[in-house]
Amino acid sequence: MTTSVKTKLVDAFSAKDASASLEATKIPRRDLLADDVEIEILFSGVCHSDLHQVRNDWKGTTYPIVPGHEIVGKVSAVGSEVKNFKVGDIAAVGTMVDSCGTCQNCLDGIESYCLAPATQTYNGHDKHLNCPTYGGYSDSIVVREKFVLSIPEGLDLAGAAPLLCAGITTYSPLKHWKVGKGQKVGVVGLGGLGHLGVKFARALGAHVVLFTTSPSKIEDAKKLGAHEVVLSKNADEMQKHTSTFDFILDCVSADHDLDAYLNLLKRDGTHCIVGAPANPQPVSVFSLITGRRNLAGSGTGGMQETQEMLEFCAQNKIVSEVEMIEMSQVNDSYERLLKQDVKYRFVIDMKKSKK
Ligand code: NAP
Ligand code: ZN
């Protein structure tokens, strides 16, 4: 199929197959349609999903892939019908750049669950150019206004970038399951998602317990807002919390023992998985039957909720803890993610990477 939409080439970083490093390349960005916003990218967060997809862990990657769905930048041009953004504004893009707009989930304002499905920011299908979508490890991006977010005044821009995926992915389930005062809430894994989960759960008023496999993270977890920290490999420590949790947010990127956490839930408690390990994770039905427990999952939130999350962050002074890197360090950063060695999100300074 050919397309009549004109494009320009911009600098980006892509991987050409599952074993390749990310390397400099050029990608097409469309000329602005009436409701499009062009954003010059300043900061791009490194999500573990970037790594999963570059390495084809989930078996759905189209190559070459340009990852990046935690994007903060400056508006460099707007289409003729754009109302809420002008050149020079700070703007942000998360995990999706379009959706059908007509299915029930879109009508309900939860475009992230669009049945079409939603067009992912990268490794999705760009219906205008009939090619894969390319993400934020690039100089600029063109996105429909409806899928562009505003960063409230006062938020550090590099620290805000991870909010666009890690932030909304942890905020949305905490709000959906009405986490708040008087509840005991667990967060599993102190990585990019987990550390924001701790901050949000604490800000929402819950008693927060962080589960980690990394003894070196205990002190940080407390500083970030955890009331208690449990070393998940220590069965005795885990046992002490049996049947006491209202809600557990599971942010782990690799295989782990779900039964060990299900057994910590109270009657009717919920273990919500947001981490996305490549392999199926086995569960004993007895962990669920005993205590009428719930096992759930959650994706990122819709546009309205993502904007609400950003406002919540501004009110509560929440941003991501970041390790700033340049594009040349991104391959190393992936290796460090695999060793659980990040404090607590790598963010690429796209401008510095150009020099
Ligand atoms: P991350 O920064 O690498 O953090 C993952 C954490 O999981 C690690 O820091 C580690 O915490 C823990 N962990 C890693 N390997 C483990 C193992 N073998 N056993 C137990 N714990 C282990 O990753 P992230 O960016 O936060 O992403 C986490 C997961 O969420 C990824 O799978 C990602 O694809 C997924 N994700 C899902 C959505 C969604 O829509 N649901 C959105 C974004 C990301 P400790 O060192 O504290 O143990
Ligand atoms: Zn992500």
pLDDT of residue 3: 62
Residues with CB under 5 A from ligand 2 (ion): 47, 49, 165
pLDDT tens-digit readout, 235-254: 999 999 999 999 999 999 99
Peptide bond into 113 cis (omega under 30): no
CA distance linking residue 203 with residue 322, whole number of Å? 19
Measure 310 CA to ligand 1 centroid, in angstroms.
22
Report which of 64, 68, 39 is spatially closest to residue 330, judged by C-alpha positions: 68
Distance of CA 124 to the CA centre of its chain: 16
* Main-chain phi, psi angles of 43, to 5 degrees: -135, 140
Cβ–Cβ < 8 Å for 47, 57 = no
N-term to C-term CA, the chain: 38
User: Using a 6 Å CB cutoff, which residues line ligand 1?
Assistant: 47-49, 52, 165-166, 169, 189-194, 212-214, 217, 251-254, 256, 274-277, 299-300, 337, 340, 342
Q: Coil, helix or strand for 238?
A: helix
Say how far apart CA 243 and CA 10 lie, in whole Å: 54
Which of 51, 43, 44, 23 lies closest to 333 in space, CA to CA? 51
Contact between residue 109 and residue 40 where contact means Cβ atoms under 8 Å apart: no
Ligand 1, residue 277: give the atom nearest the CA.
32
- Are 170 and 274 a contacting pair, CB within 8 Å? yes
CA 252 / ligand 1 centre spacing (Å): 4
Question: Nearest C-alpha to atom 19 of ligand 1 is from which residue?
Answer: 256
Q: How far is CA 26 from the centre of its chain?
A: 25
Domains of the chain, CATH where assigned: 7-165+302-312+320-354 (3.90.180.10), 166-297 (3.40.50.720)
Chain centroid to CA 19 = 23
Count other C-beta atoms under 10 Å from residue 117's C-beta.
Answer: 16
- Residues 210 and 229: their CA atoms lie apart, in Å, by 5
pLDDT of residue 4: 81
How far is Cα 275 from Cα 297, in angstroms, rounded to an integer?
A: 9
Ligand 1 nearest-atom number relative to CA 210:
47
Cα 201 from Cα 184, distance rounded (Å): 10
Q: Give dist(CA 37, CA 257) in Å, integer.
A: 44
> Residue 51: which of 138, 113, 135 has the closest Cα?
135
Q: Tell me the pLDDT of the chain (355 aa) as tens digits.
A: 446 899 999 999 999 999 999 999 999 999 999 999 999 999 999 999 999 999 999 999 999 999 999 999 999 999 999 999 999 999 999 999 999 999 999 999 999 999 999 999 999 999 999 999 999 999 999 999 999 999 999 999 999 999 999 999 999 999 999 999 999 999 999 999 999 999 999 999 999 999 999 999 999 999 999 999 999 999 999 999 999 999 999 999 999 999 999 999 999 999 999 999 999 999 999 999 999 999 999 999 999 999 999 999 999 999 999 999 999 999 999 999 999 999 999 999 999 988 7
